[in-house]
Amino acid sequence: MFDELDDGARTGVWVALGIVAFVLFGLIGGLAIRQMKPAAAPMAAAAAAPAAMVDLDALLDVPLAGDLAGTLYFEVGQAGLTQADGPAVLAAIRGAADAAPARRLVISGFHDASGDAQMNHDLAKQRAIAVRDALVGAGVARERLQLRKPASTDGGSADDPQARRVEVHLVD
């Protein structure tokens, strides 16, 4: 076919074939990009969703509110739950949580004012996390549990059990 054509016609055929190829590649590329866009939208929505959701590990800086569901006491310098009354108090908190499924549970750790303030704060937070983890282990949904910023107990000393407590409150 190309043997009978002169150079001008041959160039015209190649230009036409090039345009057809360009259009085909453009269509195929456009379809590929269009197929990738829906996949990118859920990823963007998933990235935006955590910002809208409550950070489960964030410490709330709010006053105590709600109904007291239970109080757990800890040993001096320890963040582990005691076996003496821990299971019974956790069961009572779980019962209160089951009775009010629409309410959240706010966990508040307390410490005394003696000693290193940052160490006391960290210990109170570790105690609150231990209670949260025990409640999750007891079947309370983690999404319902929030930690409150540790607070210092007015008065008292490290020997005072009130200075080494974690309170769980049911809030709306």
d(CA 167, CA 108): 5
CB of 77 closer than 8 Å to CB of 123: yes
pLDDT digits (tens, 9 = 90+) for 30-60: 777 777 765 444 444 444 444 445 566 778 7
Range of the domain at 97: 59-171
pLDDT(159) > 90:
no
Q: Are residues 149 and 86 in the same domain?
A: yes
Question: How far is it between the farthest Cα atoms of the chain?
Answer: 108
**Higher pLDDT residue, 57 or 76?**
76
- If asked whether residues 63 and 48 sit together in one domain, one would say no
The residue to which tokens 């859920």 are assigned: 42
The tally of domains found in the chain comes to 2
72's enclosing H/E stretch is strand 67-73
Q: Which of 13, 37, 53 is the last residue of a domain?
A: 53
Quick one: 83 and 145 in the same domain? yes
The span from the CA of 60 to the CA of 147, in Å, is: 6
Same domain assignment for residues 33 and 107: no
Same domain, 99 and 25: no
Q: Are residues 65 and 31 in the same domain?
A: no
Residue ending a domain, choose from 36, 53, 70: 53
Instruction: Label residue 151 by pLDDT band (50, 70, 90).
Output: confident
Looking at per-residue pLDDT, the higher value among 99 and 164 belongs to 99
What sign has the CA pseudo-torsion 107, 138, 56, 122?
Answer: positive
Q: What pLDDT is attached to residue 46?
A: 44
CB 115 within 8 A of CB 152: no
Least confident piece of the model among 16-20, 109-113, 159-163: 159-163
∠ at Cα 159 (58, 120), nearest 5°?
A: 25
pLDDT at 40 (0 to 100): 45
Per-residue model confidence (pLDDT) at position 41: 46
Any idea what the CATH number is for the domain that residue 152 is in? 3.30.1330.60
Q: Let me know whether 85 and 24 are in one domain.
A: no
Question: Is the same domain home to 38 and 85?
Answer: no
Give the pair of three-digit tokens for residue 56: 């489960």
